[in-house]
Amino acid sequence: MVFHVLTLFPEMIEGCMQTSITGRAIEKGLLTLDVRNIRDYTLDKHGKVDDYTYGGGAGMLMQAQPVYDAWNSIPGKGIRTIYLTPQGRTFDQKMAADFASEEELIFLCGHYEGIDERVLEETVTDYVSIGDYVLTGGELPAMVMMDTISRLLPGVLHNDDSADTESFQNGLLEYPQYSRPEEWHGKKVPAILLSGDHKKVDEWRLEQSEKRTQERRPDLYEAYMEQKRLYEEQHPPKRRKK
């Protein structure tokens, strides 16, 4: 996977992405990070990339020319271009899985009051938000997306299992987990986890996931129960022959 990032703050992206699991994925060559500073593409001799908005109003807008030339400098055609904006569709795990199937992605990070509409019309394929609150720029949302997408790529996580057993992959939150010691602050690890009975452990974990989802995310639980109901309707239990 190649992540191209267009930003006015390349050091923010590089520092973060070179750390921890994404950093190791880059070292292993599973991930390539190509960060381009939009300011390097301005034709303005003072390095200016923003200007006042027509029609008045507060704040500055990123101009079309430097953004377009930065975007155009990326080789290749038809690469999905994501503009990070609170006006976009809300990012979720399903969207992450869809983006993870691409070979390259372009993230366009805006700052100030945004970017001139005309260049967005010519470059952007996907408008994405990470939630209903307003940030100062698109860099943190781009990194949230890249982090989420990275861990779905083959080989990025040590254990290929863990990407799909975790929260959301089956529509449920993850079950509680325990490591050594067996007793801490007077609290014991649930006995079933020490039993060595894998079937019992799996049943216990599913039960815990369902309980936790019902308590903490009733919205997800409702959707999960509806899915389960539909499944059971289409796969009725087979009658035993007399």
- Give the C-alpha separation, 52 to 61, whole Å: 6
In the complex, the smallest distance separating the C-beta of residue 42 from ligand 6GU, rounded to whole angstroms, is 21
- Give the C-alpha separation, 82 to 128, whole Å: 7
Cβ closer to ligand 6GU: 63 or 85? 85
In the block, tokens 């027509």 appear at 54
- Give the C-alpha separation, 226 to 76, whole Å: 43
In the complex, the smallest distance separating the C-beta of residue 88 from ligand 6GU, rounded to whole angstroms, is 6
In the complex, the smallest distance separating the C-beta of residue 80 from ligand 6GU, rounded to whole angstroms, is 15
Cβ closer to ligand 6GU: 42 or 139? 139
Cβ closer to ligand 6GU: 112 or 168? 112
For the CA atoms of the chain, what is the radius of gyration? Answer: 23
Cβ closer to ligand 6GU: 131 or 176? 131
Q: How many residues does the chain have?
A: 242
Rounded to 10°, the helix 93-100/139-150 angle is: 70
In the complex, the smallest distance separating the C-beta of residue 147 from ligand 6GU, rounded to whole angstroms, is 14
Positions that interact with ligand 6GU (CB under 6 A) = 84-86, 129-131, 133-135, 137-138, 141
In the complex, the smallest distance separating the C-beta of residue 146 from ligand 6GU, rounded to whole angstroms, is 13
Cβ closer to ligand 6GU: 23 or 137? 137
Cβ closer to ligand 6GU: 66 or 110? 110
In the complex, the smallest distance separating the C-beta of residue 59 from ligand 6GU, rounded to whole angstroms, is 12
Cβ closer to ligand 6GU: 23 or 86? 86
In the complex, the smallest distance separating the C-beta of residue 25 from ligand 6GU, rounded to whole angstroms, is 23
